């Protein structure tokens, strides 16, 4: 059975599938070798109990919310009442359990989703690799059994694997520099980064409040639209497809296309050509201000400054040494420099908005490379350079605070490649409408 939200919900509502059987199917997948690394904790008995209650209510003819029984995994930085939010760390393992759900979690639970467990992640969400020395390294489905496998991407690595391996129907992660989209691209699924202010951050352990955005990772754009609507306070709407004929797509050529893996370049250009053949207008552009600035996760950044502010009283020997090094890079950023960085970001955002106004969306490869092999990813220099490369293209959307969705554009039996569509700030639903029509073209299924 395909793990699409609407299809699973319909199967549950019709009685073709029970909530208990659905939960057991997910738990069986989690109990595989890769499931152990994808999750930090699994709500086996709680999920079974909730599933049984849903099945009984359905048998009694009781009214149920529309997504009652659909499984959901959550990244280990979202509060779930009664559980400790560790954010992938050891240092928070003895913290008090959450007394309430994060607001986006509460909204999903209110519509019937069952939380199957808490997914593994980069400690404190501060890397694009998705590796975790405390809880293991989730691996991309691609060449998983070859030479130790490949990274799943970060920071929401376990979340992405939970979807690619049918451990849950849908998941939520966070995206500060690409943390939903890079893992989605590396695991062959859809990932959405919304406009930052669209999703409430209450009950989510922060990395950088100026950049953090909670977002869904799913098996389709329609699933992402359902999740986005619920997380933003809606009832789970999808979007009608936006006409592709005449759609104006800008391709920001320049540093975002430097040093692309040959597979990434080939698959991206092929998908772009399919969109052109479907009637979209493709325009190559150069955004000079971005070529000069090249915003990404640099050591002296807004993200580093805010991360250090959050962690300065917690830092200690129990941190992942690489993550601690990244956080410590923010300790010497002066208040005046921090304010200047904020001002520069706002100025750049306005300038790029003016340049890109004639276009409906921007298109770019989600990541410049296919998932790197885990073997050899050791030492701060290699980890830092690899993470920076993974997040180079995704970080742009965070810096500009523009909604962006990644859609797989590779053949199913080949290395995963993500195709990103970037919309205009605060126009998230329009982006989802465009992505709904573009998805089969990008995937090559039309």
Question: Which residue numbers are catalytic?
Answer: 75, 155, 179
Strand, helix or coil for residue 141: coil
Lookup: tokens for 195: 């406009």
Collect all residues with Cβ–Cβ distance below 8 Å to 445 and sequence separation of at least 6: none
Burial 77-91 (b: 16+ CB within 10 A, else e): bbbbeebbbbbbbeb
Rounded CA-CA distance 367/206 in Å is 24
Is residue 67 a contact partner of residue 111, using CB atoms and an 8 Å limit?
A: yes
φ, ψ of residue 398 to 5 degrees: the values are -70, -40
Strand, helix or coil for residue 214: strand
Lookup: tokens for 431: 């982006």
Collect all residues with Cβ–Cβ distance below 8 Å to 146 and sequence separation of at least 6: none
Lookup: tokens for 193: 């980064």
Rounded CA-CA distance 26/341 in Å is 44
DSSP 193-210: E--GGGS--TTB--S-TT
Rounded CA-CA distance 359/234 in Å is 28
Lookup: tokens for 73: 């995994």
**Cα Rg for the chain, rounded, in angstroms?**
21
């Amino acid at each position: 059975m395909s793990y699409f939200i609407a299809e699973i919900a319909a199967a549950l509502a019709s009685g073709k599938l029970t909530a208990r059987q659905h939960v057991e199917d997910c738990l069986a997948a989690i109990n595989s070798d890769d499931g152990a690394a994808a999750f930090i904790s699994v709500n086996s008995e709680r999920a079974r109990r909730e599933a049984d209650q849903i099945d009984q209510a359905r048998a009694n003819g009781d009214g149920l919310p529309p997504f009652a029984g659909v499984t959901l995994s959550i990244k280990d930085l979202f509060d779930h009442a009664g559980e400790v939010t560790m954010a992938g760390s050891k240092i928070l393992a003895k913290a008090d359990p959450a007394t309430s759900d994060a607001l986006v979690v509460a909204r999903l639970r209110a519509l019937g989703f069952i939380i199957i467990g808490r997914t593994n992640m980069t400690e404190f969400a501060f890397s694009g690799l998705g590796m975790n020395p405390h809880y293991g390294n989730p691996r991309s489905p691609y060449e998983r059994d070859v030479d130790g496998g490949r990274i799943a991407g970060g920071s929401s690595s376990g979340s992405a694997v939970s979807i690619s391996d049918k451990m849950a129907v849908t998941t939520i992660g966070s995206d500060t520099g690409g943390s939903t989209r890079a893992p989605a691209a590396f695991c062959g699924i859809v990932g959405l980064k919304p406009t930052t202010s669209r999703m409430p951050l209450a009950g989510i352990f922060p990395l950088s409040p100026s950049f953090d955005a909670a977002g869904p990772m799913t098996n389709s754009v329609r699933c992402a639209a359902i999740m986005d609507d619920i997380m933003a306070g809606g009832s789970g709407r999808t979007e009608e497809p936006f006409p592709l004929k005449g759609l104006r797509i800008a391709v920001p050529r320049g540093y975002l296309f430097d040093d692309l893996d040959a597979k990434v370049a080939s698959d991206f250009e092929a998908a772009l050509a399919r969109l052109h053949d479907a009637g979209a207008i493709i325009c190559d552009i150069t955004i000079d201000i971005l070529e000069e600035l090249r915003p990404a996760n640099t050591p002296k950044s807004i993200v580093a400054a805010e991360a250090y502010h959050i962690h300065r009283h917690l830092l200690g020997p129990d941190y992942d040494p690489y993550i601690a090094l990244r956080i410590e890079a923010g300790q010497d950023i002066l208040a005046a420099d921090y304010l200047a960085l904020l001002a520069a970001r706002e100025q750049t955002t306005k300038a790029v908005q003016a340049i890109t106004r004639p276009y409906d969306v921007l298109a770019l490869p989600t990541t410049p490379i296919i998932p790197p092999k885990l073997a050899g990813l050791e030492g701060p220099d290699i980890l830092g350079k690899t993470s920076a490369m993974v997040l180079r293209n995704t970080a742009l959307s965070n810096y500009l605070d523009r909604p962006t969705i990644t859609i797989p554009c590779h053949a199913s039996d080949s290395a995963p490649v993500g195709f990103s569509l970037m919309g205009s700030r605060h126009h998230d639903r329009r982006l989802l409408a465009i992505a709904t029509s573009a998805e089969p073209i990008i995937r090559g299924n039309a």
